[in-house]
């Protein structure tokens, strides 16, 4: 048995221990179900009177009192009639018993100490010695409908944390506290970056001036990098006719992810959920020679995904997404080099943002799920082989997974572990061998003939803007590098007598292209300094008599480091940091 399985069994055992404790302390309570989960366990109960968070300490203490007597589980199979006698007064268990019978499965009871539960198994062999009493704690209360159905009774769910020992438990709690401090939703509000308004709609992000500055800086970076890579910028509409998405194959393959159709007087339209069909149409607008390929079209375009409201989560899952998108149209012999170039671009971005904990995942098709994929085995084999060779030749860390490809071809997903420990897919590079057929993509080859071997690489190295911003907010904990920070330096005159000189400094900084905030002398200096630090501004300068008379400024950074510097040198210092994105 693996360590993960052993830990899962401990957590399941602790769920039983919680239920036993509740029934001892609250005999009128009805226990329902209690599984192990990623960080511990929970159990749902119906109580005759409500619990409070303060009750958790009492319950947890009682659990530790009972644990030493729990030496071994005993299990037995019973008939449904026997089980129903035991749980006569518990309608939740009676419902579960009927389900087990309907499935033709055995009914098993597990007993330990004075507690018996309806259970399939999976417990510690000797709880009183296997489980560290300091390795678990009750965490919180929550409401939960029975079986997750809002038409059913609202139950009380008690969550517990559980690890192999106290050190691991405390480490998890510390990391979670850090994650809460870094949560992009919390920091986004504190730093005035974005918000969501119900009158606009869930999952539709409203970017405030500070957040828009960051968006613009990231887009400027994308434009600069793509200029170096010989990309051509294009702009396309946010919607298109049904015929376009039928041609691309997004209808019907991606229909559930698209908004409902809009029937107009000249046809049926859809909001786009992707940019590629529009870019393919641009490629088709003019004939192309083999000498022109590869052609790289880039767009920081907005798309719309029909996500269920319950799945939306801050910036991580939204309905309106701005994508750092591009499509590369290349010959078959150019695929490998173009894919390598995109990989190099991805890694250069990550170097700029000081991101290092990432790896790649080759996502392949599954011939057993032809409802999800184009049925062209030879093309799948060729495309997957090319991408694998690229990954091997680059010497990067990667894994391979089945049944995760796009419907039109394999992809390389960029996997990250965020600063708060969450593993997620940051961005994707996809090889498309279907568009050439569906759209009739061709080029004039060196013999003057039409050649339809046009392969398309879809790439969005900075993911969607929303997901990438969530990642950056948490990665930097809101303390962004100077080039990205909405405000790069704050100027604070001590008193009204220093305002004029302070304003002169502000003017010079603004003329040099520095984003500067001027906090005039109205409020107390201490209050203004606290405001600057709370806003995580990279630098601030306090201007008093000494600075006014000498022209020599003292600049202080977020870490509290100070440096005396002339105004001209301050301008030069900030311009250099901004230009180098350091």
Note the pLDDT tens digit of each residue in 25-56.
999 999 999 999 999 999 999 999 999 999 99
Note the pLDDT tens digit of each residue in 371-400.
788 888 888 999 899 999 999 999 999 999
Residues with Cβ within 8 Å of residue 244, at least 6 apart in sequence: 277, 278, 281
Tokens 């391979």 belong to residue = 400
3-state secondary structure of 353: coil
Rounded to whole angstroms, how far apart are CA atoms 443 and 329? 10
Could you please state the CATH topology (level 3) that the domain comprising 190-238+274-476 is classified under.
BirA Bifunctional Protein; domain 2 (3.30.930)
State the binding site.
Answer: 276, 327, 458
Find residue 415's DSSP bridge partners.
359, 425
Q: Give whole-number Cα distances, 212 to 25, 192, 207, 455, 494, in Å.
A: 54, 10, 6, 35, 31
Residue 435's H or E segment, with its range, is: helix 435-438
State the binding site for Zn(2+).
Answer: 276, 327, 458
Neighbouring CB atoms inside 10 A of 481's CB total 17
Task: Specify the DSSP class assigned to residue 456.
Answer: E
CA dihedral 418, 422, 427, 433 (to 10 degrees): 150
**CA-based nearest residue to 359, from 409, 406, 297, 427:** 427
CATH superfamily, domain at 489-580:
Anticodon-binding domain (3.40.50.800)
Return the domain boundaries, the chain: 3-178, 190-238+274-476, 489-580
What six digits make up the tokens of 3?
Answer: 């360590």
**CATH code for the structural domain at 3-178:** 3.30.980.10
What six digits make up the tokens of 20?
Answer: 């036993």
Quick one: average pLDDT of 518-532?
90
Rounded to whole angstroms, how far apart are CA atoms 276 and 485? 32
Predicted model pTM? 0.82
Quick one: average pLDDT of 522-528?
89
pLDDT at 420: 74
pLDDT reading at 422 higher than 80? no
pLDDT at 84: 95
Rounded to whole angstroms, how far apart are CA atoms 467 and 426? 8
Q: How far apart are the first and last CA of the chain?
A: 48
């Amino acid at each position: 048995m693996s360590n993960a399985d052993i830990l899962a069994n401990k957590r399941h055992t602790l769920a039983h221990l919680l239920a036993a404790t509740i029934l001892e302390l609250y005999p009128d309570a009805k226990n329902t179900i209690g599984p192990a989960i990623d960080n511990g366990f929970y159990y749902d109960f119906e109580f005759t009177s409500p619990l409070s968070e303060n009750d958790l300490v009492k319950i947890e203490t009682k659990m530790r009192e009972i644990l030493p007597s729990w030496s071994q589980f005993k299990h037995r199979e019973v008939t449904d009639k026997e089980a129903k006698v035991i749980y006569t007064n518990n309608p939740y268990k009676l419902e579960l018993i009927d389900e087990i019978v309907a499935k033709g499965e055995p009914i098993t009871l597990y007993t330990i100490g004075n507690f018996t539960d309806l259970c399939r198994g999976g417990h510690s062999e000797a709880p009183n010695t296997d489980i560290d009493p300091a390795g678990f704690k009750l965490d919180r209360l929550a409401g939960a409908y029975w079986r997750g159905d809002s038409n059913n009774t609202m139950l009380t769910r008690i969550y517990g944390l559980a690890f192999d020992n106290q050190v691991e438990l405390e480490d998890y709690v510390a990391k979670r506290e850090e994650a809460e401090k870094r949560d992009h939703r919390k920091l986004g509000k504190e730093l005035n970056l974005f918000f969501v308004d119900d009158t606009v709609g869930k999952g539709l992000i409203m970017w405030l001036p500070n957040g828009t500055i960051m968006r613009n800086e990231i887009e400027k970076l994308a434009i600069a990098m793509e200029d170096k890579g010989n990309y051509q910028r294009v702009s396309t509409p946010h919607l298109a006719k049904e015929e376009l998405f039928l041609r691309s194959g997004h209808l019907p393959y991606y229909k559930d992810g698209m908004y409902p159709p809009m029937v107009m007087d000249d046809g049926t339209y859809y909001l786009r959920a992707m940019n590629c069909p529009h870019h393919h149409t641009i490629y088709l607008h003019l004939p192309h020679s083999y000498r022109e390929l590869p052609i790289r079209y880039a767009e920081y375009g907005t798309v719309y995904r029909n996500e269920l409201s319950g799945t939306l989560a801050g910036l991580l899952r939204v309905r309106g997404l701005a994508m750092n998108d591009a499509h590369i149209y290349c010959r078959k012999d150019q695929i490998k080099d173009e894919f390598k170039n995109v990989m190099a671009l991805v890694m250069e971005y990550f170097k700029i943002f000081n991101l290092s904990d990432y790896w790649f995942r080759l996502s392949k098709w599954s011939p057993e799920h032809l409802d999800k994929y184009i049925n062209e085995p030879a093309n799948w084999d060729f495309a997957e082989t090319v991408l694998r060779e690229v990954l091997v030749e680059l010497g990067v860390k990667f894994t391979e997974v089945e049944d995760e490809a796009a419907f039109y071809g394999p992809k390389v997903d960029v996997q990250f572990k965020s600063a708060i420990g969450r593993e997620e897919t940051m961005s994707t590079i996809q090889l498309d061998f279907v568009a050439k057929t569906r759209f009739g993509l061709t080029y004039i080859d060196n013999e003057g003939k039409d050649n339809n071997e046009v392969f398309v690489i879809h790439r969005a190295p900075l993911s969607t803007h929303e997901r990438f911003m969530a990642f950056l907010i948490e990665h930097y904990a809101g303390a962004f590098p100077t080039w990205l920070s909405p405000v790069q330096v704050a100027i604070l005159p001590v008193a009204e007598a220093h305002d004029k000189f302070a304003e002169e400094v502000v003017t010079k900084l603004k003329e040099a292209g520095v984003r500067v905030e001027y906090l005039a002398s109205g409020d107390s200096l201490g209050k203004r300094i606290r405001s600057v630090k709370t806003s995580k501004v990279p630098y601030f300068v306090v201007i008093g008599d000494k600075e006014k008379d000498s022209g020599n400024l003292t600049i202080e950074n977020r870490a509290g480091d100070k440096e005396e510097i002339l105004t001209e040198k301050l301008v030069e210092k900030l311009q250099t940091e901004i230009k180098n994105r350091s």
